[in-house]
Amino acid sequence: MTPLEETPANLIRAQDAPILHAQALQDRLQPFTVPIFRFRRNVPEPVDSGSGVLLNIGEFYFVLTAGHCVTGDFDSLTLGVRNHPHRFSFEPANRNYVCIWERGDFGYFQVSPDSVGTIAAGNRVFLTERSVEVLSVSEHEASRDFLALAGYPLNFMANTDDGTGARLLVYSTTMAGGQHAPASTLVVAGGENRREIHAWIPQQDNVDTLADDRPPVASFPRLHGASGGGWWSTHMNRAAWQASDVKLIGTHVGMSPQVTETEDGLRHRFSRVSLVGNHLALIARDYPALRQHILDTWPSVGSYGADLPA
């Protein structure tokens, strides 16, 4: 029996034992993950929020996120890049997104050179290329790896006299379907040409791996605000696991609106995960200087870019 087969319940639930490698997952994912706040003029508090993943490709720096976190009616952006109350005003050098049913929901902000140093001066780090894994849907389904979401859901937001605060959620689960989870009820975006996977979000004994001020088991009916946060393959089935084995595979898009109840009486939702090949294909199209480098580094990206909308 492999280590993965010995501990699936402990990875997903915290009733019987600590979550496997919980502290290591926190330490691994927090530096790369940022909350995104969007503002309108003369409104002191954000009108919307999301999450993103900092990524360095060649000489360029990006925040990968969901497409609906890039589009919309807002006048300014701030990021959370420190572990104390603050607002880092963020003026992207460029941005683009896709947010259509037939193709998916993904996007990016380019970080200007001036902002790169400011972000890196705190406790945030840009993910390197070697920590990004581009697989096809069928390859993900074959691997059935355990996954982790890192983001800033609205459940964890708090408005104080100092402004709006955000707290990171690292959520451990697995893909929908297969041995450990029920099949997803989400309608697949893109049909047969889909470039997404679905993750299982059980509605009992959901896991907050960073619970330091309350019991480790909590339930989150929605994950709004975590949109754009990274979904990561943990690769915990490796014999000599280390935190650097955890790879970015996509970003959180949203959750199934309805709760599904299975025959055993348990309730479930599901997360739509836009695979990171989508983001990279869009960047490769928008940045000719990076295109060949991206295709050489992740050959599978070519299949993601074939039908990008103009």
Q: Residue range 238-261: average pLDDT?
A: 88
Residues 6+ away with beta carbon under 8 Å from 266:
202, 203, 204
Q: What is residue 193's DSSP assignment? A: G
The confidence score (pLDDT) of residue 163 equals 52
Q: Per the structure block, which two tokens stand in for 259?
A: 């709760």
Q: What pTM was estimated for this model as a whole?
A: 0.87
- Do residues 256 and 269 make contact, with C-beta atoms less than 8 angstroms apart? yes
Q: Residue range 119-141: average pLDDT?
A: 90
**C-alpha separations of 26 from 33, 83, 156, 197 in Å:** 11, 14, 16, 23
The confidence score (pLDDT) of residue 74 equals 78
Rounded Cα gap, residues 223 and 166, in angstroms: 13
Rounded Cα gap, residues 146 and 179, in angstroms: 12
The confidence score (pLDDT) of residue 102 equals 84
- Do residues 45 and 54 make contact, with C-beta atoms less than 8 angstroms apart? no
- pLDDT surpassing 70 at residue 84: no
**C-alpha separations of 161 from 42, 44, 52, 57, 164 in Å:** 17, 11, 25, 38, 8
The confidence score (pLDDT) of residue 80 equals 77
Where is mean pLDDT largest: 44-53, 224-233, 242-251?
242-251
pLDDT one-digit tens code per residue, 7-42: 233 333 334 345 667 778 888 999 999 988 887 777
> Which fold does the domain 31-130+278-304 belong to in CATH?
Thrombin, subunit H (2.40.10)
- Which has the minimum average pLDDT: 11-25, 102-116, 242-256? 11-25
- Do residues 144 and 98 make contact, with C-beta atoms less than 8 angstroms apart? no
pLDDT one-digit tens code per residue, 149-206: 998 887 666 555 555 556 788 888 888 987 778 888 888 876 667 799 999 888 776 5
Q: Could you state, in order of their start, the residue ranges of all structural domains in the chain? A: 3-29+133-277, 31-130+278-304
- pLDDT surpassing 90 at residue 105: yes
The better pLDDT of the pair 269, 193 is held by 269
Q: Per the structure block, which two tokens stand in for 234?
A: 């943990």
- pLDDT surpassing 60 at residue 73: yes
C-alpha 184, offset from chain centre: 18
